[in-house]
Chains A and B, each alone.
Chain A
Amino acid sequence: DIQMTQSPSSLSASVGDRVTITCRASQSISSYLNWYQQKPGKAPKLLIYAASSLQSGVPSRFSGSGSGTDFTLTISSLQPEDFATYYCQQSYSTPPTFGQGTRLEIK
């Protein structure tokens, strides 16, 4: 199975900050990488698919980049509603696997 490792595991930031979350795959996965946002008690929500494609309806302050083994999710200017946990997920091979999550908290 492909292992996905996110860093950091948690992050404190302020409204208006630029934030970057990193996801590393244990082998090359080309651009088969998705990002999700999850708020407490809610289902995950798709943000980015195929490493850099923004899901319809997701604010443009979210962006994704990377290919191969290293990927990033960037939030250009944090808004209060962005404080949540973020997960990366590879779709290169079965089983699809997720990173352990990055909890983004208010400073």
Chain B
Amino acid sequence: EVQLVESGGGLVQPGGSLRLSCAASGFTFSSYWMHWVRQAPGKGLVWVSRINSDGSSTSYADSVKGRFTISRDNAKNTLYLQMNSLRAEDTAVYYCAKERTYYDILTGYYSWFDPWGQGTLVTVSS
């Protein structure tokens, strides 16, 4: 069974740092792109970051660029999100998600998030 388990969330003061982890099992972790998506309390889903399968390419939402760093350890089957200079607006449940793709010879690559981890809550407050 494919499983993603996040950890590392908690309460942190504005300006502080936190590192989230996402432990993967049940699939060949090193073959898949991975993502972080967050959800502020009572709000919708917002994509945060993604990393390719070998960790050589990353992408970030403008709101976290320069403050967050995504990384992975394929030997440990673990995805990370290092969050620095945290702000109140970063308060959210953070989900890791596996990217799945399908290639259609006529229309190209389709991708989607499946599955998602259970999420870890990050609260930024003094």
Contacts and interface: CB of A to CB of B under 8 A. Distances in A.
A60 interface: no
B101 to A, nearest CB: 9
A55 interface: yes
Interface string B91-122: 00001000010101001001111111111000
B47 interface: yes
B25 to A, nearest CB: 16
Interface residues of B, number: 23
Contacts of B116: 43-45
A44 B113 contact: yes
B112 A44 contact: no
Nearest to B96: A43
A31 B112 CA distance: 12
B46 interface: yes
A27 B59 CA distance: 22
A44 B111 CA distance: 16
Contacts of B59: 94-95
Nearest to A34: B112
Contacts of B46: 98
Nearest to B95: A43
Contact of A49 (B44, B95, B110, B118): B110
B61 A95 contact: yes
A31 B110 contact: yes
Most chain-B Cβ atoms within 10 A of its Cβ — which of A44, A91, A99?
A44
A8 interface: no
Nearest to A38: B45
A99 B111 contact: no
B45 A89 contact: yes
Interface of A: 30-32, 34, 36, 38, 42-46, 49-50, 53, 55, 87, 89, 91, 94-101
6 contacts: A42-B118, A43-B95, A43-B116, A45-B115, A46-B114, A101-B45
Interface of B: 35, 44-47, 50, 59, 61, 95, 100, 102, 104, 107, 110-119
